[in-house]
């Protein structure tokens, strides 16, 4: 019976530890806009219905696009910055102007000029995973991280200390009975 419990514990512990490591990597790779960037890909969590064609709770993985790959008529994801408020938007590029080799300005609908530093990537290159964004959003939240990572690790630590103290007491009693 103890062997079966150890196997069940191992089967549960390995995926949990993997999930905790992946979640921690995601959190450590936040950019200045609180979006995870890994290997040239941005993980966009759709939190509302403002991105046309995407549902609340979707996870959209957008590869980084170079300025030369973006042309008028392309739909792009970009950061819209107003003071401290940052919103992820999706819109069609009306025109493109290369100021020099490193800076490009894109004209967006409504006479809005967008610097290339705020471009995330092309919609056509993006992959969408329905519902996964809601799960990732919860896990990356303060409460999600607390309940899914911190508290279970704390409980395991306390249980480990308890088992260690219990083992020491058993050893002390065994030594006293020998003497």
Cβ–Cβ < 8 Å for 24, 70: no
Q: pTM of the full predicted structure? A: 0.81
What is the arithmetic mean of pLDDT over 41-58? Answer: 90
166: helix, strand or coil: helix
Q: Give the domain ranges of the chain.
A: 31-140, 149-179
pLDDT at 31 over 70: yes
d(CA 119, CA 80): 9
Cβ–Cβ < 8 Å for 121, 62: yes
Structure-block tokens of residue 124: 């056509």
d(CA 113, CA 124): 21
Q: Which residues pair with 127 in a beta bridge?
A: 61
Q: Which CATH number fits domain 31-140: 1.10.357, 3.30.2010, 2.60.40, 2.10.109?
A: 2.10.109
CB atoms within 10 A of CB 73: 10
Query: What pLDDT band is residue 176 in, cutting at 50, 70 and 90?
Result: confident
Name the DSSP letter for residue 114.
E
Cβ–Cβ < 8 Å for 60, 54: yes
- What is the residue-wise DSSP string for 23-39? HHHHHHTB-TTS-EEET
Nearest in space to 41 (alpha carbons), one of 63, 57, 12: 63
Structure-block tokens of residue 3: 């062997």
**How confident is the model over 92-146, as pLDDT tens digits?**
999 988 876 667 889 998 888 888 889 999 999 999 999 999 999 999 999 999 9
């Amino acid at each position: 019976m103890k062997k079966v419990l150890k196997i069940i514990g191992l089967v549960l512990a390995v995926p949990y530890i993997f999930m905790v490591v992946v979640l921690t990597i995601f959190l450590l790779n936040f950019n200045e806009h609180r979006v995870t960037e890994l290997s040239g890909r941005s993980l966009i969590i759709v939190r509302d219905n403002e991105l046309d064609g995407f549902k609340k709770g979707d996870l959209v993985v957008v590869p980084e696009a170079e300025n030369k790959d973006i042309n008028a008529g392309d739909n792009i994801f970009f950061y819209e910055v107003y003071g401290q408020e940052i919103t992820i938007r999706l819109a069609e590029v009306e025109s493109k102007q290369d100021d020099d080799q490193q800076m490009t300005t894109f004209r967006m609908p409504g006479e809005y000029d967008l610097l290339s530093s705020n471009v995330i990537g092309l919609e056509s290159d993006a992959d969408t995973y329905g519902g996964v964004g809601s799960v990732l959003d919860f896990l990356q939240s303060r409460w999600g991280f607390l309940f899914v990572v911190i508290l279970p690790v704390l409980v395991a630590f306390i249980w480990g200390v308890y088992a260690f103290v219990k083992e020491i007491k058993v050893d002390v009693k065994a030594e006293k009975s020998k003497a």
